[in-house]
Amino acid sequence: MSRRKAAPVDAAPAAAQRSDLTIRPVRRGDLEAVIAIDTQVTGLEKREYWRSVYRRYGESATTAGAQFLVAESAGEVVGFVIGEVRDWEFGAPPCGWVFAIDVRPDARLAGIGTRLLESICASFRRAGVRKVRTMLASENTLILSFFRSQGMMAGRFIPLEMDLEG
């Protein structure tokens, strides 16, 4: 039996693709939409946290190599990704870290997460790094599966923790 060309089962359905999708740096006016997406997904509103993230990673970012991008469709923010280049953390050469990515639940399965990740990876490449990392809870199956579908595999670091008593 000859090998057949596989159907693109992991690609977003063409009909669901948003042709007007734009990925761009966050603006102050986007913050409410970002907070709303995070609140919807996590069930917990963290307004002060997001303001602090905006200060560190937004328009006037104080963090070198910071990236805070949003996905806009039909004039609405439908997703975001945040990351930065970290130098020699854990003894590793400079690499890109993605520490937040999310897409509004009603806008999922349209390739928005993929576009966001591609965009931040392109920024990392322009910054001269050739590795991207992330870390998330093992029970966060949805986002873990997303990163896996994008080609991410287990890295050479093992996260460790312990409870501090007393």
Tokens coding 99: 């520490």
21, 71 Cβ separation under 8 angstroms: yes
By CB under 8 A, name the one of 22, 40, 42, 141 that touches another protein: 141
Does the protein bind another protein through residue 156 (CB under 8 A)?
Answer: no
Residues near 89 by Cβ (< 8 Å), separated by ≥ 6? 97
Do the beta carbons of residue 22 and residue 77 sit within 8 Å? Answer: no
Residue with tokens 């970290």: 86
Please, are residues 97 and 103 in contact by the beta-carbon 8 Å criterion?
A: no
Sole window of 38-46, 78-86, 117-125, 146-154 interacting with another protein (rule: CB under 8 A) = 146-154
19 binds another protein (CB under 8 A): no
Binding mask 65-104 for another protein (x = CB under 8 A): ----------------------------------------
Q: Does 135 help bind another protein (rule: CB under 8 A)?
A: no
Contact between 162 and another protein per CB under 8 A: no
Q: Which stretch binds another protein (CB under 8 A): 7-15, 37-45, 75-83, 97-105?
A: 7-15
Q: For residue 65, which of 37, 40, 86, 47 has the smallest C-alpha distance?
A: 86
| Closer residue to another protein, CB minimum distance, 92 or 144 | 144
Q: Per CB under 8 A, does 148 bind another protein? A: yes
CB atoms near residue 134 (< 10 Å)? 17
Phi then psi for 25, rounded to 5 degrees?
-65, 150
Site of interaction with another protein (CB under 8 A): 1, 3-4, 6-7, 9-10, 138-139, 141, 144-145, 147-149, 151, 154
